[in-house]
Structure 1
Amino acid sequence: MMKITFEDIYKPGNIVAENDQYRHYHYPEMLIRYDSNFLQFKTMPSLIEFKKVENYLREFHLKNGQKHVKFVFPENKKPTGELLTHLTDKGYDIGFLELYAIDPKDFPSVREDANIHIREVTTKDLDTLLTIQYQHDLDFGIEFAKQKKGLIKRQFENQNIRQILAYYKGSPAGYVDVIISSKTAEIDGLTVAETFRNKGIGSRLQTFVMESFPEKTVILVADGEDTPKEMYKRQNYQYRGFQYEALKVF
């Protein structure tokens, strides 16, 4: 399997500043989306360096009416104890993501179920996708859910993104986005509606991706402290690294 890193993960946002120390992502189309408005360190900062960059990002976000700051640290490196203490004292939420990859041929076979139908979103399915995602996104607030509709529409027009819907007995039950690059197909936002869980829909969505892109390495990121990563391991995904993040909402 080819070498995969977090640099292969899709980041919807514009690089507005970059130097030897960090890369700053900004997405004016959706300022409320934390994963598109953040600063990623290339090298692990000292506490003094971090405080300087922390002030820079806070001031930048204040000018744009943003109420958060988010920092992503270098891949496969844990922040120093001194830095973790500062983040904790300042009220940051600290976590880490894990990167996984799989050759599609290694994904376990999934039993067919005539009740489950998977298909790529077309113009006639777009409203259905918008509705089911809106209901899920309400967990993050009404304003986020409203703005997310615009992102979904923009992604629908993006030739490098495939939006996939799952139906169970004719009812929309789940979805996933697939971000396509020259060497990878990234699974992003895999979601099954609560009332349709434990029916194999998530596995069928993944199978659809594996069958659609057999020549690519399929990749995804999982919350390092959440349970879905254990499912991915059982499905033969291979661990490829970790990355720490810190988020503060004011």
Structure 2
Amino acid sequence: MKQVTFDDIYILGCIVAENDLYRHYHYPEMLIRYDSNFIEFKKQPSLTELKEAENYLREFHLRQGQKHVKFCFPENVQLERELVDYLNGSGYENGFLELYAIQPDQFPEVEDQPDIDIQIVTDKNFETYLDLQYKQDLEFGSKFARAKIDLAKRQFTESSIIKIIAFYKGNPAGYVDVITTDKTAEIDNLTVEESFQKKGIGSRLQKFVMDNYPDKAVILVADGEDTVREMYMKQNYQYVGFQYEVQKIEGD
């Protein structure tokens, strides 16, 4: 297994400010995407440092018309109680991410199912991919769903990002994005439409990734409080580490 860390995870956004304490990521093309507009601490801040970063990010976001504040903390570091108490008392939602990795040959065998057809997204099926993604993203609001369509169109021209779609009996049923580097293939945005779940589509999408990138470590990030992480462990993914994150929408 190639050694991987959260530094290997793709971040959509540019670093607009950096110092010894943190990196500030910003993505003006999609201001409502919290995962692209945040501060990532390089080391655990003191309470004073956290408050200073909080004021800086809040003022920066307000100038952009953004209402959220989000922070990610160093990998595999438990937060000091003083920070936890302040964040909880200030109305932040907190959670943690978990990083998983697998060598493709360790992924379980998947039974071939003629009803499932996995395709790389091209000009011919791109609109179908967009329609399916839009329907899935509507649960987060039409503004977000439309912004994700614009994002997909920008990413479609990037050679390092491959989009894959699954059909079940000819019907669009799921999709996944794969972000590649020299050593990793990152699974992102893995989605199966609700009416097609429990038919093996998610496993087939992942197996397609394993078969196409046999020499790379396949990695993904899971919500540490989501039950889907149990599925990944059953599929032989190895737990690598965790990262705490917090966010708050001003005015809530």
Please give the range of the TM-score, normalised by the shorter of the 2 chains: over 0.9
- CA–CA separation in structure 1 for the residues paired with 2:124 and 2:82: 53
Match runs of 1:90-105 below 5 Å = 90-105=90-105
- How much does 1:81 deviate? 0.9
| CA displacement at 1:142 relative to structure 2 | 1.0
Question: Are 1:198 and 2:218 matched, yes or no?
Answer: no
C-alpha distance after superposition, 1:116-163 (max 9, x if no partner): 000100011111111111111111111111111110011111100000
Q: Distance in 2 between matches of 1:189 and 1:149?
A: 13
Task: Find the counterpart in structure 2 of residue 52 from structure 1.
Answer: 52
The amino acid across from 1:232 in the alignment is Y
Residue 9 of structure 2 is matched in structure 1 by 9
What letter matches 2:181 in structure 1? Answer: S
User: Could you report, residue by residue, the CA deviation over 1:189-237 in whole angstroms, capped at 9, with x for unpaired residues?
Assistant: 1000000000000000000000000010000000101101100000000
1: distance between equivalents of 2:125 and 2:70?
34
Equivalences for residues 56-135 of structure 1 within 5 A: 56-135=56-135
What displacement does 1:78 show? 1.7
Identity %: 63
Which residue type is aligned with residue 115 of structure 1?
D
CA distance in 2 between counterparts of 1:19 and 1:67 reads: 24
Shift of 1:65: 0.3
Which residue in 1 is equivalent to 2:237? 237
Task: Output the CA distance in 2 between the equivalents of 1:85 and 1:126.
Answer: 47
Secondary structure of 2:125 counterpart: helix
Residue 186 of structure 1 pairs with residue 181 of structure 2: no
State the alpha-carbon separation in 2 of the partners of residues 206 and 15 from structure 1: 31
What is the CA–CA distance in structure 2 between the aligned matches of 1:182 and 1:235, rounded to whole Å? 24
Displacement of 1:25 in angstroms is 0.3
Q: Give 5+ residue unaligned stretches, structure 1.
A: none
Counterparts of 1:203-214 in structure 2, within 5 Å, are 203-214=203-214
Q: Counterpart of 2:27?
A: 27
TM-score (norm 2): 0.98
AA matched with 1:245: E
The equivalent of 2:161 in structure 1 is 161
Residue matched to 2:249? 249
Paired with 1:101 and 1:214, the residues of 2 have a C-alpha distance of 13
User: 2: distance between equivalents of 1:40 and 1:24?
Assistant: 6
Q: Which secondary structure state, in structure 2, belongs to the residue aligned with residue 127 of structure 1?
A: helix
What is the alpha-carbon distance in structure 2 between the residues aligned to residue 174 and residue 147 of structure 1? 19
SS of residue matched to 2:166: strand
Partner Cα separation in structure 2 for residue 228 and residue 78 of structure 1 = 23
Letter matched to residue 163 of structure 1? K
Letter of the 1:212 counterpart: N
Find the aligned partners of 1:35 and 1:123 in 2 and give their Cα distance: 28
**CA distance, structure 2, for counterparts of residue 158 and residue 92 of structure 1:** 35
Give deviations 1:153-184, integer Å, cap 9, x for gaps.
11111100000000000000000000000000
1:166 alignment partner AA? A
**Cα deviation per residue 1:5-63 (whole Å; 9 max; x = unaligned)?**
00000001010000110000000000000010010000100111100000000000000
